[in-house]
């Protein structure tokens, strides 16, 4: 059972690294396109870089959403 947990956490690390690597590749491609006066393609690559960056932070984003959802539920139930 420990091997499966190790593989799961290791695969998460690899995927997170891939998201951040993709962010860098897209950003540098966007800069290249921007310097070649291809503004639409540059904006597309920056959008891809942003979504890839958010993918790399997916676990932190999920934690923030869970905290906000819990606070909203507590406010609705009358708790502080």
Q: From first to last of its 80 residues, what are the pLDDT tens digits of the chain? A: 456 666 778 889 999 999 999 999 999 999 999 999 999 999 999 999 999 999 999 999 999 999 999 998 888 887 65
In whole angstroms, give the CA distance from residue 24 to residue 66: 28
Around Cβ 53, how many Cβ atoms within 10 Å? Answer: 16
Question: What 8-state DSSP symbol labels residue 61?
Answer: H
pLDDT of residue 80: 59
pLDDT of residue 31: 98
């Amino acid at each position: 059972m420990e091997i499966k947990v190790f593989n799961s956490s290791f695969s998460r690390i690899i995927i997170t690294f891939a998201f951040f690597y993709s962010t860098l590749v897209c950003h540098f491609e966007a800069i290249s396109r921007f310097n070649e006066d291809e503004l639409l393609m540059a904006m597309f690559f920056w959008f891809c870089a942003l979504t890839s960056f958010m993918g790399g932070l997916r676990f932190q984003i999920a934690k923030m959403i869970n905290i906000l959802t819990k606070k909203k539920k507590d406010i609705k139930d009358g708790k502080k």
